[in-house]
């Protein structure tokens, strides 16, 4: 399964970035191999005045991810991910490896709605 995790860095032991739209980067992981296959720098999203969540969701969709693991997800990002058929898991913490373990163990919440407001949260 292809999973995207919001991250501060490009390794499995990088701490995750709990934000989605303003995350520093996205790492695409193949859960079969457990390896990171792609890293996307989200600098544009960090700097964007608006629509960062939309842009991030598009980026995740282009990566072909089936699910997203992050700390929080705002309203526009959520709508976009939902439209793209990507499952959203919030509440992750620790490193990228930790987040993947939390996903596998089923301790993360499958989000049915955004859990933060938008606007530069």
Residues 8-27 that bind other proteins (CB under 8 A): 8, 15, 17-19, 22, 24
What H or E segment, with its residue span, contains residue 41?
strand 35-41
Q: Between β-strands 67-69 and 87-90, what pairing exists: parallel, antiparallel or unpaired?
A: parallel
Task: Determine contact, residues 106/81, Cβ cutoff 8 Å.
Answer: no
Alpha carbon 86 to its chain centroid, in Å, reads 10
Asked if 108 interacts with other proteins (CB under 8 A), we say no
Asked if 80 interacts with other proteins (CB under 8 A), we say yes
> Closest separation between CB of residue 84 and other proteins, Å?
4
Residue numbers at the binding site for other proteins (CB under 8 A): 8, 15, 17-19, 22, 24, 46-52, 54-55, 57-58, 61, 71-72, 75-76, 79-80, 83-85, 113-121
């Amino acid at each position: 399964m292809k999973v995207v995790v919001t991250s501060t860095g490009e390794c499995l032991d990088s701490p995750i970035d709990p934000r989605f739209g303003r995350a520093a980067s996205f790492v695409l992981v193949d859960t079969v191999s457990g390896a990171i296959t792609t890293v996307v720098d989200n600098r544009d999203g960090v700097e964007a005045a608006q629509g960062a969540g939309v842009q991030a969701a598009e980026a995740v969709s282009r990566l072909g991810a089936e699910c997203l693991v992050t700390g929080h997800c705002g309203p526009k990002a959520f709508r976009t991910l939902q439209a793209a058929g990507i499952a959203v898991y919030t509440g992750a913490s620790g490193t990228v490896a930790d987040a993947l373990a939390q996903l596998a163990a089923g301790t993360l919440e499958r989000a049915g709605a955004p859990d933060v407001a938008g606007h530069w949260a």
